[in-house]
Structure 1
Amino acid sequence: LPAALEAAVDEARAAWLGARADETPLAVRSSAPHEDSAASSFAGHFETRLGVRGREALRVAVRAVLASSLSERVIAAAARTGLALLPPRMAVLVQRLVEPTCAGILFTRDPVTGAQRMVVEMVRGSGEAVASGRVEPARFTIDRATGAIERAGGDPALSPAPATLHELAALGRRVEALFGGPQDLEWAIENGRAVLLQSRPITGLGTAARREGRGDFWTSANSQEALAGPVTPMTYTLMLPLIERGRRAAFEALGVGPLPGAYMRRHLGRVYFNTDYFRRFLERLPGAPTEIFDMLLFGDATRGSALRLQFERLRPSPRLLRLGALVARTWWSAQRRMDAFVPRLERALRRMQGRDLARASTPALVRQLLEARRLMEHGFRLHVLGSAMAGAHYLLLSKWLQAYCGDRGQGAVDALLERAHRAATAQAYDALLALAEQARTQPALAACLRRTAQPEGGEPADRLAALEAVPGGTALREGIERFLARYGHLSRTEAELAAPRWREDLDYVFDVLRHLLEREPAAGDRSPGRVRRRDGIRRVHAALRRRSQALAPLQRLVFTQLLRWAERYAPYRENMRFHALRAYEQVRRVLLEFGRRLHARGLLETRDDVFFLQWSELPTVLSLPPGTEQAARWRERARARREAFERFSRAQAPKFIWDDGSPAPAPARRHPVGGQAAFLEGVAVSGGVVRGRVRRCDRLEDALELAPDEILLARLAPPSWTPAFLLARGVILDIGGMLSHCAVIAREHGIPCVVGVREGTELLRDGEWVTLDAYAGRVYVHRDEVTRDATGGQRRTDTERTGTEPRGG
Structure 2
Amino acid sequence: EQCKKILKLNAEQRRYIQDAIKAAFGHDNADHLGIVAVRSSSPEEDLAGSSFAGGYDTSLGVTSAGLQDAIINSFASLFDHRIYLYKIQHDMVADTPRIAIIVQKQIASDVSGVGFSLNPNNNCFDEIVISSNFGLGESVVSGIITPDTYVVDRFDPSNMKVISKKVADKTSAIWLDEASGGTRQDPNKSPTAQALTDDEIMEVARMVADVEEQYFDGSPADIEWAFHNNTLYLLQARPVTAHVPLFPEMITERGKEKRLYLDLMVMTQGFSDPLSTLGLDIWKNSLARMKPTMSTEGFDGLMFNIHGREYMNISNMLMMTGGTVMVNTALRTNDKSLDRAFASIDLKDYTPSYVPEGCKGIFGKSIKQLLLTVPNILRGMYYGKDSMQQYVKDTNALLEHCHSHRYPDDKAFVEVYDELTKTYEAVVPQVGGLISGLISKALLHRIFRNCEGTEDNLINLSMDLNGNPTSEMGHLMVRLAYCPEIQETRTSDEFLKKLKEGSFSQEFTSIYSDYLKRFGCRGAREIDVATPRMSEKQDELFDTLKQIDVKNNQIINVRERRDKAYQELLSLAREIGKEKSFVHHASVMQGVLGYREHPKYMLVVVTDACRRHALQVAKGFVAKGRLENEDQIFSLTMDQISNAQKDEAIDLLSLVRANLKPVEDVRHVKNWPVLIDSRGKIIRGKREITEDEKNKEGLLIGDPISPGAGVVRGRAKVLMDPYEKPLEAGEILVARFTEPSWTPLFINAGGVIMEIGGPMQHGAIIAREYGIPCVSGIDNATKLVKDGDLLELDGSAGTVQIIRDDCDMNVVSSGSK
TM-score normalized with structure 2 length: 0.59
Deviation at 1:173, TM superposition (A): 1.9
Matched, 1:427 2:472: yes
Deviation at 1:349, TM superposition (A): 5.0
Letter in 1 for 2:87: I
2:263–2:310 Cα contact (<8 Å) kept: yes
Deviation at 1:244, TM superposition (A): 3.7
2:712–2:750 Cα contact (<8 Å) kept: no
Q: Distance in 2 between matches of 1:413 and 1:136?
A: 49
**Match of 1:446, SS?**
coil
Q: Distance in 1 between matches of 2:573 and 2:168?
A: 41
What are structure 2's unaligned runs of at least 5 residues? 1-6, 172-189, 213-217, 349-361, 381-386, 806-811
Deviation at 1:342, TM superposition (A): 2.3
* 1:521 corresponding residue in structure 2: 549
Q: Distance in 2 between matches of 1:326 and 1:774?
A: 40
**Match of 1:3, SS?**
coil
* 1:342 corresponding residue in structure 2: 392
* 2:596 corresponding residue in structure 1: 573
Cα distance per residue 1:470-506 (max 9 Å; x no partner): xx75554333123224323334453344656544x3x
**Match of 1:512, SS?**
helix
1:769–1:781 Cα contact (<8 Å) kept: no
1:186–1:198 Cα contact (<8 Å) kept: yes
**Kindly tell me: are residues 764 and 617 of structure 1, through their superposed partners in 2, closer, same or farther at Cα, counting changes over 3 Å?**
same
Q: Distance in 1 between matches of 2:372 and 2:601?
A: 25
1:294–1:737 Cα contact (<8 Å) kept: no
* 1:65 corresponding residue in structure 2: 77
Deviation at 1:437, TM superposition (A): 3.3
Deviation at 1:713, TM superposition (A): 4.1
What are structure 1's unaligned runs of at least 5 residues? 313-318, 454-461, 625-629, 787-794, 799-809
Letter in 2 for 1:722: T
Letter in 1 for 2:554: R
* 1:221 corresponding residue in structure 2: 265
When the two chains are superposed, the root-mean-square deviation of aligned CA atoms in Å is: 7.5
Of the candidates 361, 375, 380, which is equivalent to residue 423 of structure 2? 375
* 1:480 corresponding residue in structure 2: 512
- Structure 2 matches for 1:7-406, cutoff 5 A? 7=14, 35=46, 42=51, 46=55, 58=70, 61-68=73-80, 71=83, 73-75=85-87, 77-78=89-90, 111-112=121-122, 114=124, 160-161=192-193, 164=196, 166=198, 169-170=201-202, 172-180=204-212, 201=240, 204=243, 211-213=251-253, 221-222=265-266, 231=276, 233=278, 240-246=284-290, 249-250=292-293, 260=300, 263-267=303-307, 271-275=308-312, 277-284=313-320, 285-288=322-325, 333-334=376-377, 336=380, 340-347=390-397, 349=399, 371-378=419-426
1:390–1:573 Cα contact (<8 Å) kept: no
Cα distance per residue 1:212-271 (max 9 Å; x no partner): 5289779683597699665365x6655554444445x4489xxx999615834453xxx2
Cα distance per residue 1:346-366 (max 9 Å; x no partner): 2455577787x58x9999999
Q: Distance in 1 between matches of 2:325 and 2:208?
A: 36
**Kindly tell me: are residues 212 and 593 of structure 1, through their superposed partners in 2, closer, same or farther at Cα, counting changes over 3 Å?**
closer
Cα distance per residue 1:766-794 (max 9 Å; x no partner): 75979899989999999x989xxxxxxxx
Q: Distance in 2 between matches of 1:369 and 1:429?
A: 29
Matched, 1:438 2:483: yes
Matched, 1:742 2:763: yes
* 1:512 corresponding residue in structure 2: 541
Q: Distance in 2 between matches of 1:170 and 1:429?
A: 60
- Structure 2 matches for 1:716-755, cutoff 5 A? 717-727=738-748, 739-749=760-770, 750=772, 752=774, 754=776
Aligned residues: 717
Q: Distance in 2 between matches of 1:229 and 1:292?
A: 28
Letter in 2 for 1:75: K
**Kindly tell me: are residues 620 and 203 of structure 1, through their superposed partners in 2, closer, same or farther at Cα, counting changes over 3 Å?**
closer
**Kindly tell me: are residues 198 and 649 of structure 1, through their superposed partners in 2, closer, same or farther at Cα, counting changes over 3 Å?**
closer
2:773–2:795 Cα contact (<8 Å) kept: no
* 1:802 corresponding residue in structure 2: none
Q: Distance in 1 between matches of 2:572 and 2:685?
A: 37
1:393–1:566 Cα contact (<8 Å) kept: yes
Letter in 2 for 1:724: L
Cα distance per residue 1:734-787 (max 9 Å; x no partner): 876654433433444435354796x888x77975979899989999999x989x
Q: Distance in 1 between matches of 2:231 and 2:588?
A: 64
* 1:702 corresponding residue in structure 2: 724
Q: Distance in 2 between matches of 1:510 and 1:647?
A: 34
Deviation at 1:719, TM superposition (A): 2.3
Greater shift in the superposed pair: 730-739 or 388-397: 388-397
2:59–2:70 Cα contact (<8 Å) kept: no
**Kindly tell me: are residues 178 and 481 of structure 1, through their superposed partners in 2, closer, same or farther at Cα, counting changes over 3 Å?**
same
**Match of 2:667, SS?**
coil
Larger Cα-atom Rg: 2
Q: Distance in 1 between matches of 2:585 and 2:319?
A: 27
Cα distance per residue 1:60-114 (max 9 Å; x no partner): 64245323597454235535xxx89999876567897999999898887694395
**Kindly tell me: are residues 142 and 440 of structure 1, through their superposed partners in 2, closer, same or farther at Cα, counting changes over 3 Å?**
same
Q: Distance in 2 between matches of 1:205 and 1:608?
A: 28
Q: Distance in 2 between matches of 1:124 and 1:345?
A: 71
Q: Distance in 2 between matches of 1:381 and 1:78?
A: 47
Deviation at 1:52, TM superposition (A): 10
Q: Distance in 2 between matches of 1:778 and 1:734?
A: 12
Matched, 1:451 2:494: yes
Cα distance per residue 1:631-674 (max 9 Å; x no partner): xx26x75677679889999997355999xxxx996849899x99
Q: Distance in 2 between matches of 1:178 and 1:343?
A: 66
* 2:501 corresponding residue in structure 1: 466
* 1:627 corresponding residue in structure 2: none
**Kindly tell me: are residues 300 and 197 of structure 1, through their superposed partners in 2, closer, same or farther at Cα, counting changes over 3 Å?**
farther
TM-score normalized with structure 1 length: 0.60
* 1:653 corresponding residue in structure 2: 667
1:574–1:744 Cα contact (<8 Å) kept: no
**Match of 2:300, SS?**
coil
Letter in 1 for 2:303: Y
Deviation at 1:160, TM superposition (A): 3.3
Q: Distance in 2 between matches of 1:139 and 1:547?
A: 58
Q: Distance in 1 between matches of 2:129 and 2:450?
A: 34
Q: Distance in 2 between matches of 1:516 and 1:485?
A: 17
**Kindly tell me: are residues 190 and 725 of structure 1, through their superposed partners in 2, closer, same or farther at Cα, counting changes over 3 Å?**
farther
